[in-house]
Amino acid sequence: MDPFTGNFTQQEPIPDAAIEAALEVMRSGRLHRYNTGPGESSPVAELEAAYAAYQGSRFCLACASGGAAMTLALRAHGVGAGDKVLTNAFTLAPVPGAIAAVGAEAVLVEITEDLVIDLEDLAGKITSSGARTLLLSNMRGHLCDMNALTELLDQHGVTLIEDCAHTMGARWNGRKSGSFGLAGCFSTQTYKHINSGEGGLLTSDDPEFMARAILLSGSYMLYERHGAAPEPHVFEGLRLDMPNMSSRMDNLRAAILLPQLAQLEENIERWNARYDLIAERLAVCPALRVPVRPAAEYYVGSSIQFQLIGAAPEQMEAYLSAVAALGVDLKWFGRAEPVAFTSTHKSWRYVPTQNLPRTDVVLASLLDMRLPLTFSLDDCAHLADILVHCAEVTRLPGAA
């Protein structure tokens, strides 16, 4: 088996049109979003309008990061010190981080072996915790049954805020991820679906919520210069009550995101061609399990997850060494000591310790591979061959 020589963190270059737009912003010297003359718009305002149109939401706020979008959303919704916020236990640290940032307490919910929130455990924890808010993380792009979820939340009067860092562009039954509850939170960090290094987008249809979020983001009373904001009168009763959390996006980042947004749908198809090719090849190997994806889910395959069925920690280590020797960089979410972003809920000491036996079992054998668009379809076939080959040579239960 030839080793793979590609780079798992190498994204495609920023498109030429975006580089041109960035140069124009820099030549103007006007990088701050509110640095406009009378009647002029800014790249940030244009991005807000374009993203609201893409998402099909009434309002959009561009902000400093995906984490900032979630923090603003929680605070704008009125979540504060001591409040409980439900979230799935399998997520990335910015999610419990956003909950901690508003002084709230995360209540972690189990996940299923298909990597989505467990609705039964959620129902139990809504009742036992009394939490009124769910910050749902669509972790690694997996969508739960969104209809069943919203029905459950409606029954109990729980508000939904969606973390769509890995589901920008994804849909459930044709409806965009991020449009099922009060708000959707997106990230434009380098490893997500459009790339400005750092950045975030917050969408909602609720005028008061969005007015509060805009004020919180640090709008210096210049909210009339936003691209997809509520009418000025909505801000009247709120403008002096919202603290400034300085979480704005700048024009340079917005300028390079606009041309990338225009390419997003095409890129989703490119990601999914890569994902589907690998998923089909892994499905044939009895030692590996790829999460089942329901027909209602239109996903964005920017990364792939699979379990080594029944593998003990030593077998996980052996498999990781075998693939690494062939140039394949996998993350093991259940590793006892966090490496890079492989943190589990046990690595978040600022969250009260919670017992999540089912999630722990899933994470114990769960591996993750990034799929940057710089990988060709041939690269993906090669990667799949290595993943299957190593399952065979490390003698996993069930492998040939």
Question: What pairs with residue 134 in β-bridges?
Answer: 86, 160
CA atoms of 298 and 17, how far apart (whole Å): 28
Instruction: Compose the 157-196 pattern: x for residues touching ligand PLP by CB under 6 A, - for all others.
Output: ------x-xx--------------------x-x-------
Q: What is the distance between the alpha carbons of residues 254 and 43, in angstroms, rounded to a whole number?
A: 6
Of residues 240 and 340, the one with the C-beta less far from ligand PLP: 340
**Which residue is listed with tokens 């915790």?**
129
Q: Which is nearer to ligand PLP, 324 or 341 (CB)?
A: 341
Distance of CA 128 to the CA centre of its chain: 27
Taking the C-alpha atoms of residue 305 and residue 299, their distance in angstroms, rounded to an integer, is: 13
| 195 vs 219, beta carbon nearer ligand PLP | 195
| 94 lies in the binding site for ligand PLP (CB under 6 A) | yes
Distance (Å, whole) CA 49 – CA 226: 8
How many residues of this chain bind ligand PLP (CB under 6 A)? 15
Position among 85, 92, 146, 386 found at the interface with ligand PLP (CB under 6 A): 92
* Angle, in degrees to the nearest 10, between helices 313-325 and 377-393: 140
Residue 259 in tokens: 């041309």
Count CA atoms within 13 Å of residue 394 on its CB side: 27
Question: Which of 54-62, 90-98, 244-252, 276-284 is the region at the interface with ligand PLP (rule: CB under 6 A)?
Answer: 90-98
The answer to whether 333 and 342 have CB atoms below 8 angstroms apart is yes
Q: Which is nearer to ligand PLP, 55 or 394 (CB)?
A: 55
**Strand order through the sheet with 171-172:** 175-176, 171-172, 297-298
CB of 368 to ligand PLP, least distance (A): 11
Asked if 259 is part of the footprint of ligand PLP (rule: CB under 6 A), the reply reads no
Segment near ligand PLP (CB under 6 A); pick from 63-71, 112-120, 201-209, 362-370: 63-71
Site for ligand PLP in 122-141 (CB under 6 A): 137, 139
Nearer to ligand PLP, 63 or 391 (CB): 63
User: Does 65 sit near ligand PLP (CB under 6 A)?
Assistant: yes
The residues of the shown chain that bind ligand PLP, judged by CB under 6 A, are 65-67, 91-92, 94-95, 137, 139, 163, 165-166, 187, 189, 200
